[in-house]
């Protein structure tokens, strides 16, 4: 795919143009979710947070069961935290947790997924100036995912 080639060669404007043409010309393409996600990442990289957020939301609305839906949700949370809406992220995470997990099933969540959620939750708590809640989330993150990709940051933030 030409858009991926431009993306790998660090030519984001050209990649964005190609991905946008694919989305417009082939909206029913079997890989459209990947194309939307790639374009959203490019927009995010270019500092176009509103445009990237719109695409991530589109993935969540139209392709909720796709393999990229959870990643799109995490990207939206990250954008919200960075833009000072951490309280909103906390509320979304808590309501989603209640809605998604029947009582007693929490021990069966894969540690990596639980760890990612705890990481976002901890960051949102830090942004909302709730250090004790953030510290507890960081400790839980480290205990369920000791080799996770955010390990170093969690250790630093939890000191």
139: domain CATH number?
A: 1.25.40
At 10, is the pLDDT very low, low, confident or very high (cuts 50, 70, 90)? low
Residue at which a domain ends, from 38, 67, 83: 83
Task: Name, of 53-57, 82-86, 147-151, the range with top average pLDDT.
Answer: 53-57
Q: For the chain, how many structural domains are there in total?
A: 2
Interval 81-119: pLDDT, tens: 888 888 888 887 777 665 555 455 455 454 455 667 777
Interval 66-78: pLDDT, tens: 888 888 988 988 8
Enclosing domain of residue 144: 87-159
Q: How far apart are CA 133 and CA 6, in angstroms?
A: 42
Please classify residue 32 by burial: count the beta carbons closer than 10 Å to its beta carbon, then call 0-12 exposed, 13-18 middle and 19+ buried.
middle
Specify whether 125 is located in the same domain as 79.
no
Mean residue pLDDT across the chain: 76
* Residue 8: CATH number of its domain: 1.25.40.10
Closest CA to 120 of 90, 152, 84: 90
Specify whether 121 is located in the same domain as 91.
yes
Specify whether 67 is located in the same domain as 103.
no
């Amino acid at each position: 795919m030409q858009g991926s080639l431009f993306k790998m060669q660090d030519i984001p404007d050209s990649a964005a143009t190609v991905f946008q043409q694919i989305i417009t010309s082939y909206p029913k393409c079997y890989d459209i979710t990947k194309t939307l996600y790639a374009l959203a990442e490019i927009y995010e990289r270019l500092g176009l947070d509103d445009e990237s957020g719109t695409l991530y939301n589109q993935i969540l609305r139209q392709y909720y069961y796709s393999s990229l839906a959870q990643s799109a949700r995490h990207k939206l949370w990250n954008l919200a935290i960075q833009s000072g809406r951490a309280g909103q992220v906390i509320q979304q995470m808590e309501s989603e947790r209640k809605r998604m997990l029947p009582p007693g099933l929490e021990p069966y969540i894969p540690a990596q997924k639980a760890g990612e959620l705890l990481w976002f939750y901890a960051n949102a708590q830090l942004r909302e100036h709730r250090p004790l809640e953030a510290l507890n989330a960081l400790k839980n993150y480290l205990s369920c995912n000791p080799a996770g990709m955010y390990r170093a940051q969690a250790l630093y933030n939890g000191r």
